[in-house]
Amino acid sequence: MSLLIKDDWKIIQEGFSPAENRFFESIMSSGNGRMGLRGNHEEDYSGDTLKGTYISGVYYPDKTKVGWWKNGYPEYFAKVLNAIDFIGIEVRINEEKLDLANCKFSDYRRELDMKESVLRRSFTYIDSKGSKYDIKTERFISYADSDLAAIRYSITSLDDDAELNLLPFLNGDVRNEDANYQEKFWEYISSCATDFASYLHMKTLKTNFNVSAAFTWNIIGADVLEKKAVFLKNGEFVGTQIKTKIYKGKTITLEKYIAVTSDRYYNAGGISKIAAGKARESLEIGYDKLFDAHKEKWANIWSMGDITISGDVAAQQGIRFNIYQLNCTYSGEDPRLNIGPKGFTGEKYGGSTYWDTEAYCFYFYLGTKEPKIARSLLEYRYNHLEKAKENAAKLGMRGALYPMVTMNGEECHNEWEITFEEIHRNCAITYAVKIYTEYTNDESYLIQKGIDVLVETSRYWASRVNYNPVKNVYMILGVTGPNEYENNVNNNWYTNRMVKWSLQYTVDTLDMMSKNHEALYNEMIKRLGLSLDEIATFKDISGRMYLPEDKELGVFLQQDGFLDKELTPVADLGPSDLPINQNWSWDRILRSCYIKQADVLQGLWFLNDLYTKEEKIRNYDFYEPLTVHESSLSPCVHSILAAEIGREEKAYEFYLRTARLDLDNYNNDTDDGLHITSMAGTWMSIVNGFGGMRIKDGKLCLAPFKPKSWEKYSFCLVFRGRILKITVCETGVTIDLEKGQPLDITLFSDNVTLQEGINV
pLDDT at 342 over 80: yes
Which of 138, 255, 484, 486 does the annotation list as catalytic? 484
H or E stretch at 498: helix 493-516
Contact by Cβ (8 Å): 665, 23: yes
Query: DSSP letters of 324-365?
Result: HHHHHH--SS-TT----TTTTS-SGGGG-B-THIIIIIHHHH
pLDDT at 328 over 90: yes
Q: Strand (E) positions, 513-622? A: 549-550, 555-556
Average pLDDT value for residue range 538-563:
98
Strands 699-702 and 743-747: parallel
Per-residue pLDDT tens over the stretch 453-478: 999 999 999 999 999 999 999 999 99
Contact by Cβ (8 Å): 618, 668: no
Architecture of domain 32-60+76-302: Distorted Sandwich (2.70)
pLDDT at 628 over 60: yes
Please tell me the distance from the alpha carbon of residue 417 to that of residue 475, in angstroms, as a whole number.
Answer: 18
Q: Which residues pair with 78 in a beta bridge?
A: 61
Per-residue pLDDT tens over the stretch 509-522: 999 999 999 999 99
Highest mean pLDDT among 53-62, 65-74, 155-164: 155-164
- Where residue 713 falls among pLDDT bands split at 50, 70, 90? very high
Query: Rounded to 5 degrees, what are φ and ψ at 62?
Result: -65, 130
Q: Is 443 a catalytic residue?
A: no
- In percent, the amount of the chain with pLDDT more than 70 equals 99
Contact by Cβ (8 Å): 370, 718: yes
Residue 68 has a pLDDT of 65
Compute how many other C-beta atoms are within 10 angstroms of the C-beta atom of residue 526.
9
- Spans of all domains in the chain: 32-60+76-302
Per-residue pLDDT tens over the stretch 148-201: 999 999 999 999 999 999 999 999 999 988 777 778 999 999 999 999 999 999
pLDDT at 485 over 90: yes
Residue 509 has a pLDDT of 98
Average pLDDT value for residue range 728-757:
95
Picking from 600, 471, 609, 602, the residue whose alpha carbon sits closest to that of residue 545 is 471
Please tell me the distance from the alpha carbon of residue 198 to that of residue 191, in angstroms, as a whole number.
Answer: 7
Query: DSSP letters of 255-275?
Result: EEEEEEEETTTS-GGGHHHHH
Average pLDDT value for residue range 592-608:
98
Compute how many other C-beta atoms are within 10 angstroms of the C-beta atom of residue 103.
15
Residue 15 has a pLDDT of 97
Contact by Cβ (8 Å): 251, 264: no
Contact by Cβ (8 Å): 702, 733: yes
- Where residue 69 falls among pLDDT bands split at 50, 70, 90? low
Residue 67 has a pLDDT of 65
- Where residue 73 falls among pLDDT bands split at 50, 70, 90? confident
pLDDT at 450 over 60: yes
H or E stretch at 495: helix 493-516
Q: Which residues pair with 167 in a beta bridge?
A: 90
Strands 743-747 and 750-754: antiparallel
Contact by Cβ (8 Å): 328, 24: no
Per-residue pLDDT tens over the stretch 78-136: 788 999 999 999 999 999 999 999 999 999 999 999 999 999 999 999 999 999 999 99
Average pLDDT value for residue range 9-19:
97
Contact by Cβ (8 Å): 439, 366: yes
End-to-end CA distance of the chain: 41
Q: What mean pLDDT value characterizes the chain? A: 95
Compute how many other C-beta atoms are within 10 angstroms of the C-beta atom of residue 71.
8
H or E stretch at 717: strand 712-719
What Rg value do the Cα atoms of the chain yield, rounded?
27
Residue 178 has a pLDDT of 78
How does DSSP classify residue 755?
B
Q: Count Cα neighbours of 59 within 13 Å in the Cβ-side half-sphere.
A: 26
Residue 351 has a pLDDT of 66
- Where residue 61 falls among pLDDT bands split at 50, 70, 90? confident
Residue 1 has a pLDDT of 54
Please tell me the distance from the alpha carbon of residue 405 to that of residue 386, in angstroms, as a whole number.
Answer: 16
Q: Which residues pair with 258 in a beta bridge?
A: 149, 215
Compute how many other C-beta atoms are within 10 angstroms of the C-beta atom of residue 432.
24
Please tell me the distance from the alpha carbon of residue 297 to that of residue 328, in angstroms, as a whole number.
Answer: 12
Please tell me the distance from the alpha carbon of residue 162 to that of residue 692, in angstroms, as a whole number.
Answer: 62
Please tell me the distance from the alpha carbon of residue 725 to that of residue 116, in angstroms, as a whole number.
Answer: 21
pLDDT at 263 over 90: yes
Q: Count Cα neighbours of 48 within 13 Å in the Cβ-side half-sphere.
A: 12
Please tell me the distance from the alpha carbon of residue 193 to that of residue 179, in angstroms, as a whole number.
Answer: 30
